Amino acid sequence: MIITIDGPAAAGKGTLARQLAKKYGLAYFDTGMVYRAVGLELLNNGLSPDDTAAASKVAAGLTFARMIALSAQPGFRSAAGGQAASKVAAMPKVREYLLKMQQDFARTPKLPTGEKTAGVVYDGRDTGTVICPQADVKFFITASPEVRAMRRHKEYLQKEMPSVYEDVLAQTKERDLRDSSRTSAPLRPAEDAVIIDTSDMDITEVFAEACRIIDDKFLK
């Protein structure tokens, strides 16, 4: 079974994807990691995330193992890391180089322990439209920019990272605009995606709704 979960930043995709992966015994691929890895590699080397040639070179050489190693660095989930990721993600060459790694994951999906699984939950922006258009169930998870910015702001504070709500809101809107207006794989729901607006829903409600949709399709 392949499930895709797309949507804008901080809509609750990651939480839902992890919960669904656990419940249905599936592997999980957070595809934002590939762009965060490229962005962080550039920042670590004093290069600009606007440098298309440098970003393409990093993307061409990125391995799954290197991505996992970079994900342990503090800058990976930072606001600067997110901005850098969204800049390199708008470059068609970068997306092209990172496509195969993401698609290959569904061929032999496994848990971080190496245990094989019968499928995968992808989360990202284009997983139902480009990475895995053949997915069995597709979700598009969204929420208002204000709600998403507040969630991200609280997350930063919980991790004891400096955060100002107004700045997070401005960055959220900036990333939304860049992600949805780029020419290559713009953020949009797949035609056959189920759209869930989580603005007034908590995690438990979103999870219950997603499980109902999956079970309706597979257990009836």
Contacts to ligand C5P by CB under 6 A: 9, 31-32, 35-36, 82, 85-86, 89, 124-127, 175, 179
Cβ 116 to ligand C5P shortest distance, Å? 24
Q: In angstroms, give the least distance from the CB of 62 to ligand C5P.
A: 13
- Indicate the residue among 104 and 215 with the shorter CB distance to ligand C5P: 104
Q: Given the complex with ligand C5P, which of 12 and 32 has the nearer CB atom? A: 32
Closest CA to 27 of 93, 118, 92: 118
- Compute the least distance from the CB of residue 211 to ligand C5P, in Å: 22
The Cα angle at residue 137 between residues 135 and 138, in degrees rounded to 5: 85
Show the DSSP H helices in 8-63 as ranges.
Answer: 13-24, 32-44, 52-61
CB of 89 to ligand C5P, least distance (A): 3
Nearer to ligand C5P, 109 or 124 (CB): 124
Sheet holding 194-197, edge to edge: 27-30, 120-124, 2-6, 137-142, 194-197
